[in-house]
Amino acid sequence: MNSVGVCFRKQRLFSSSSISSSSLPWISPVQFLKANSQKPDPPPETSNTLMESRTQSKFISHETATNLIKRERDPQRALKIFNKVSEQKGFSHNSATYGVILHKLAQSKKFQAIDSILHQMTYETCKFHEGIFINLMRHFSKISLHDRVLEMFYTIEPIVRDKPSLKAISTCLNLLIESNQVELARDFLLNSKKSLKLRPNTCIFNILVKHHCKNGDLESAFEVVKEMKKSRVSYPNQITYSTLMGGLCESGRLKEAIDLFEEMVSKDQILPDVLTYNVLINGFCRGGKVDRARKIMEFMTNNGCNPNLFNYSALMNGFCKEGRWQEAKEVFIEMKSAGLRPDTIGYTTLINCLCRAGRIDEGMELLKEMKEKECQADVVTLNVLLGGLCREGRFQDALQMLEKLPYEGVYLNKGSYRIVLNSLCQNDKMEKATKLLVLMLERGFWPHYATSNEILVRLCKAGMVDDAVTALFELAETGFKPEPHCWEILIELNCRERKLLSIFELLDELVIKES
């Protein structure tokens, strides 16, 4: 098989070369000299050559330099542009050009170049903005370089020549807290109080409240709130209360969450918004009290706060979790009646609920509606429908979806194929399973290791030994190695049917894979 393929490739190679050589036109010496006397075409302009030609003809402004650096994908070439424009007479980099090159270098993790640029900035006389350093702090936090986050913060004052703002302080603190660098965050806060004479505002305290709630330490969160209430500068706001209510709901303390809500409204006279209500709706739905969540939604509407898409989706999800598809559908209709346009998550939530209830056709109708409303169904939506079809034994419909959807520009992942393949195997639909396996491999999707072994065993037990052998060789191309038990069954059945050639080929395959 392999030797035939090699011969075939050689034949194609020689035939293509012979065709190309014979099809070349004959050029006389005179024509060759004329051709050589003509000037060659100039090379295509890159961003560098374009920049160089512009440098010779006209002055490159800060705005143009910024755009050139932004458009350049290669960080090294972007740095070359940055350096090249500074050679112009009368040109000095400003905050915008420094900001864009540092952003480009940070995206590419060019730390040495970043340090050089920062060093160069210390000698500049232009006015810098702290936003450059806030951006760098975020980049370093993403890759867990927490010391460098602090380093960028402490670079603000010497280069910007002004003390960091509360925004810079709260950003730095939040990045450290989000990364669970509690000790660094505590030290940072203490240093800021001393060196910057910081008086923490509500935003900074809210970061600490969020941290304690996230870790389930509600007592510490309430202690922070007590400190906040001692100062008018840091008095708790809507975000503070919403965060605390969310923490209480996560801990199952729903009654305390409602009590806190009433305290916020009656005592502190803070009006709740859709976010605050959503915390409670979500909390009660997760706590299995979806009817109470429904009443919160009604209270919200009666008090002049119109529910948004997230409020409806949370309530609908609560009904779906309890299998109450009829009420979930009513919420969905109510959401559309309110003039809101359901998103992919909303549609998928209801489709999943309907499929679980065995109402596949209604789910398929919603898929059609999504297409009409230009709401793109994602792979999660499609996998939900494929799973629903398989549970109802509608394998042909599932296979047709797998076959046609990629031609309609719809993305499917390996999970889409595996859902159907596993169901076919579990229901002994081995002919369909074999066809689907071929389709998967053609499209570059491989079955799970356990499923591959199961297919081979089930094919053998169904008397489809030839199909099992063919499937094995196809799977072997992907690097698959069957379990010993699977090999034993294949060899034993081939021996019974006196298919000695197949046995030798299987044994050769076994030796190759094990060596």
Instruction: Enter the tokens of residue 263.
Output: 């305290």
pLDDT at 63: 94
How many other C-beta atoms can be found within 10 angstroms of the C-beta atom of residue 452? 22
Give the pLDDT score at 25.
39
What is the block-wise mean pLDDT of the chain (515 residues), using blocks of 10 residues? 36 35 36 40 50 61 93 93 91 94 94 94 92 96 94 94 92 92 88 82 91 92 90 88 96 95 93 94 94 95 92 94 93 94 93 94 94 91 95 95 88 92 92 91 87 85 81 79 76 66 59 55
pLDDT of residue 504: 60
Predicted local confidence at residue 505, as pLDDT? 64
Quickly tell me which residue has 């419909």 as its tokens.
397
Residues 6+ apart with CB under 8 A from 355: 363, 384, 385, 387, 388, 391
* Percent of the chain that is helix, strand, coil (3-state, to 5): 75, 0, 25
Instruction: Provide the sign of the torsion angle of the four alpha carbons 332, 337, 340, 341, taken in this order.
Output: positive
The pLDDT assigned to 511 comes to 56
Distance CA 263, CA 260 (A): 5
C-alpha closest to that of 113 among 86, 136, 142, 96 = 136
pLDDT for 410 equals 84
pLDDT score recorded for residue 355: 94
Q: How far apart are CA 36 and CA 337, in angstroms?
A: 75
CA distance 279 to 359: 31
| pLDDT computed for residue 449 by the predictor | 85
* Coil/strand/helix, residue 508: helix
pTM of the predicted structure, to 2 decimals: 0.69
pLDDT of res. 514: 54
Read off the amino acid at residue 11.
Q
Tell me the residue type at 312: Y
